[in-house]
């Protein structure tokens, strides 16, 4: 469903600040895979997600990105959007605050479609939005005409999640989407994530700082460091994973003890 | 009485400019200085055409088209060439100064005694005063209705979302270069129409008539929002039109009280600076009292 082949990304190329954020990374996700990606600050997790989403072009050369069999390497961010649902770390980024909940959903319902001069809020779509909002169980189905800026961070993140999957995208990208929420709200949003991903059988790539979440969720776990994937566990290995085993695996692979910046990962 | 009517009429004609500024400043969230060039451009195109005997309505339509080109230039510089919006607007504004001189062939075209939109209506038996008022009401009603419709369509919604959160709307598959371009084109079309209407009312077009128009537009938008609210898009449109009328009333009042017309631009600038800093000052006052929601910032 997603195939990343030999992709590299270097920031500030040719300057003293040159930083290789992705170093010849290849990874393939089968349909329905729910992959959690973990790693310290600067490990390349977000760069990987942004490269797939098309926020910036990857380094030239043989690097290729395929979604659902299509080569999207050269596509602009808005062109790829039709294949990708995205939720950002900052709950403010996924929605337009000054627009009604209804309007935000209507835009998501038209993602990747040709927009025309038809009325943007046909009355016929209300029932559909209400039904999908009801599934979130946050009471938002009664607040379709409220401006999204009036909702809490957790509610906005839940709405963004719903917007991302409203059209059942081939690929769902979650960029530390609970990191900015309080623990209780984060828990709720993670629950919703699991529910939505499994109901729709979505191919998902989820970045997290939280080892427990990375271990508890999904069917596959990837750990990144210095722009490379250093651990990739699936199936039984992933199911039986614990924080202790993951740390052990990390120390074996990197020949380092789990300290300093890698310790930024929260257990 | 006649001062009241003429103030309202003038406010209506200027409110077309304010609606254009509303599109760029509020909807797109861009301070677009092209306005200072497209306003006199609209006046120049309309005056030059009327001077050559064109029908007044056709002249206004041509002015709108010219304004669109001006807005498109700013939009292309901003999106395709990555020039900051403020600078792109300034470049258009400066460039258009020369263009406006070319269009008119001189610095000033007088329309006295010529066939204008208002003289056409006078021929139908209206006084000049009522003709301008009727034209103003008609034009503003049509433009506001069209804006309400357009910004409720799929494309219009995507333009509004672009101004609010470009990252979000790109993730929803919209090319923000296109939406920004479209917004600037529409905004400057309205600005140029306003220039064409004002020139016909004044009886002349002048190459210097654009100076300070962005501030007049901003003042109208802000006064309208403060006095009449911005709860919904429809509410905002009405507020901007009323704000423009209030602004004209303030100008008429201070002139009546003996203020020199030369000081008007300073007054307007101070008003806008105060209004723009209002949210920050409110927050600071609340913070000082220790009770503000954002006191920690």
pLDDT at B1: 67
pLDDT at A247: 87
pLDDT at A61: 84
Q: Does B98 touch chain A (CB under 8 A)?
A: no
DSSP 8-state code for residue A36: E
Task: Give A109 to chain B, closest Cα distance, Å.
Answer: 9
More confident residue, B159 or B267: B159
Mean pLDDT across chain B: 94
Residue B129 lies in a domain: yes
**CB A120 to CB B175 under 8 A?**
no
Q: Which of A84, A96, A118 sits opposite B168 (nearest CB)?
A: A96
Q: Which of B150, B164, B174 sits opposite A78 (nearest CB)?
A: B174
pLDDT at B280: 84
Q: Does A163 touch chain B (CB under 8 A)?
A: yes
Q: Which residue of A has its CA nearest to B170?
A: A78
Residue B117 lies in a domain: yes
pLDDT at A261: 47
Decide: helix, strand or coil at residue A224: strand
Q: At residue A264, does pLDDT exceed 60?
A: no
**CB B172 to CB A108 under 8 A?**
yes
Q: Does A69 touch chain B (CB under 8 A)?
A: no
Residue B52 lies in a domain: yes
Size of the A and B interface in Cβ pairs below 8 Å = 85
| Residues of chain B above pLDDT 90, percent | 85
Average pLDDT value for residue range B125-143: 95
ipTM of the assembly? 0.90
pLDDT at A236: 87
Instruction: Write the CA distances from A250 to A44, A237, A259, integer angstroms.
Output: 16, 14, 11
pLDDT at A52: 96
Q: Which of B153, B168, B172 sits opposite A93 (nearest CB)?
A: B168
Q: At residue B138, does pLDDT exceed 70?
A: yes
Contacts by A16-20 with C-beta closer than 8 Å and gap 24+? A20/A226, A20/A227
Residue B223 lies in a domain: no
**Cα-Cα-Cα-Cα dihedral sign, residues B12, B14, B20, B25:** negative
Q: Does B230 touch chain A (CB under 8 A)?
A: no
- The secondary structure of B38-61 as a DSSP string is HHHHHHHHHHHHHHTT--HHHHHH
Report the greatest alpha carbon distance in chain B.
Answer: 66
pLDDT at A98: 94
pLDDT at A265: 58
User: How far is residue B89's CA from residue A195's CA, in Å, rounded to a whole number?
Assistant: 49
Task: Give B145 to chain A, closest Cα distance, Å.
Answer: 14
Which residues of chain A lie closer than 8 angstroms to B173, CB-CB?
Answer: 78-79, 81-82, 110-113
Residue B55 lies in a domain: yes
Which residues of chain B lie closer than 8 angstroms to A78, CB-CB?
Answer: 170, 173-176
In tens, the pLDDT along A54-104 reads: 999 999 888 999 999 999 999 999 999 999 999 999 999 999 999 999 999
Residue B121 lies in a domain: yes
Number of domains comprising chain B? 1
Contacts by A139-147 with C-beta closer than 8 Å and gap 24+? A140/A101, A143/A101, A144/A100, A144/A101, A144/A102, A144/A105, A145/A100, A145/A101, A145/A102, A146/A100, A146/A101, A147/A97, A147/A98, A147/A99, A147/A100, A147/A101
Q: Does B229 touch chain A (CB under 8 A)?
A: no
Q: Which of A97, A119, A120 sits opposite B164 (nearest CB)?
A: A97
Q: Does A214 touch chain B (CB under 8 A)?
A: no
Task: Give residue B203's pLDDT band: very low, low, confident or very high (50, 70, 90).
Answer: very high
Q: At residue A259, does pLDDT exceed 80?
A: no
Residue B72 lies in a domain: yes
Domains of chain A: 2-113+123-264 (3.40.50.300)
| Residue ranges making up the domain that contains B165 | 2-209
Q: How far apart are the first and last CA of chain A?
A: 30
Residue B270 lies in a domain: no
């Amino acid at each position: 469903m997603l195939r990343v082949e030999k992709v590299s990304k270097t920031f500030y190329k040719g300057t003293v600040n040159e930083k290789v954020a992705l170093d010849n990374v290849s990874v393939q996700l089968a349909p329905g895979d729910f992959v959690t990606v973990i790693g310290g600050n600067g490990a390349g997790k977000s760069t990987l997600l942004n490269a797939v989403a098309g926020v910036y072009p990857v380094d030239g050369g043989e690097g290729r990105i395929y979604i659902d069999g299509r080569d999207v390497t050269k596509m602009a961010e808005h062109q790829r959007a039709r294949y990708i649902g995205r939720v950002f770390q900052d709950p403010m980024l996924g929605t337009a605050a000054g627009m009604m909940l209804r309007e935000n959903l209507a835009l998501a319902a038209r993602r990747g479609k040709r927009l025309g001069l038809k009325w943007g809020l046909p009355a016929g779509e209300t029932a559909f939005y209400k039904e999908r909002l009801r599934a979130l169980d946050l009471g938002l189905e009664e607040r379709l005409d409220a401006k999204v800026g009036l909702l809490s961070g957790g509610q906005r993140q839940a709405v963004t999640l719903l917007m991302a999957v409203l059209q059942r995208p081939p690929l769902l990208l979650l960029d530390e989407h609970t990191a900015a929420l309080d623990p209780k709200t984060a828990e709720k949003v993670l629950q919703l994530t699991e529910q939505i991903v499994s109901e729709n059988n979505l191919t998902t790539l989820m970045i997290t700082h939280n080892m427990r979440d990375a271990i508890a969720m999904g069917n596959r776990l990837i750990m990144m460091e210095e722009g490379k994937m250093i651990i990739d566990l699936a199936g039984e290995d992933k199911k039986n994973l614990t924080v202790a085993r993951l740390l052990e695996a990390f120390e074996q692979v990197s020949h380092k003890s789990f300290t300093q910046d890698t310790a930024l990962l929260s257990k | 009485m006649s001062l009241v009517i003429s103030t309202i009429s003038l406010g209506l004609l200027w409110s077309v400019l304010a609606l254009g500024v509303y599109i760029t400043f509020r909807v797109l969230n861009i301070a677009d200085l092209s306005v200072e060039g497209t306003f006199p451009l609209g006046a120049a195109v309309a005056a030059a055409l009327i001077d050559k005997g064109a029908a007044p309505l056709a002249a206004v339509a041509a002015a709108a088209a010219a304004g669109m080109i001006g807005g498109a230039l700013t939009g292309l510089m901003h999106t395709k060439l990555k020039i900051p919006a403020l600078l792109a607007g300034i470049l258009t504004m400066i460039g258009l100064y020369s263009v406006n001189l070319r269009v008119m062939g001189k610095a000033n075209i007088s329309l006295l005694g010529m066939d204008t939109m208002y003289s056409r209506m006078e021929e139908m038996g209206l006084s000049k005063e009522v003709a301008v008022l009727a034209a103003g009401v008609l034009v503003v009603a049509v433009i506001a209705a069209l804006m309400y419709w357009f910004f409720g369509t799929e494309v219009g919604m995507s333009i509004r979302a672009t101004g609010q959160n470009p990252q979000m709307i790109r993730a929803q598959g919209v090319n923000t270069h296109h939406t920004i371009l479209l917004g600037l084109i529409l905004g400057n079309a309205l600005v140029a129409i306003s220039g064409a209407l004002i020139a016909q009312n004044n009886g002349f077009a002048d190459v210097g008539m654009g100076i300070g128009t962005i501030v007049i537009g901003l003042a109208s938008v802000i006064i309208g929002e403060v006095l009449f609210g911005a709860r919904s898009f429809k509410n905002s449109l009405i507020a901007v039109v009323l704000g423009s009328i209030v602004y004209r009333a303030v100008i008429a009042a201070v002139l009546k009280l003996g203020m020199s017309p030369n000081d008007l631009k300073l007054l307007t600038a101070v008003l806008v600076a105060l209004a723009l800093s209002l949210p920050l000052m409110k927050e600071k006052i609340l913070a000082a009292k220790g009770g503000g929601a954002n006191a920690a910032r």
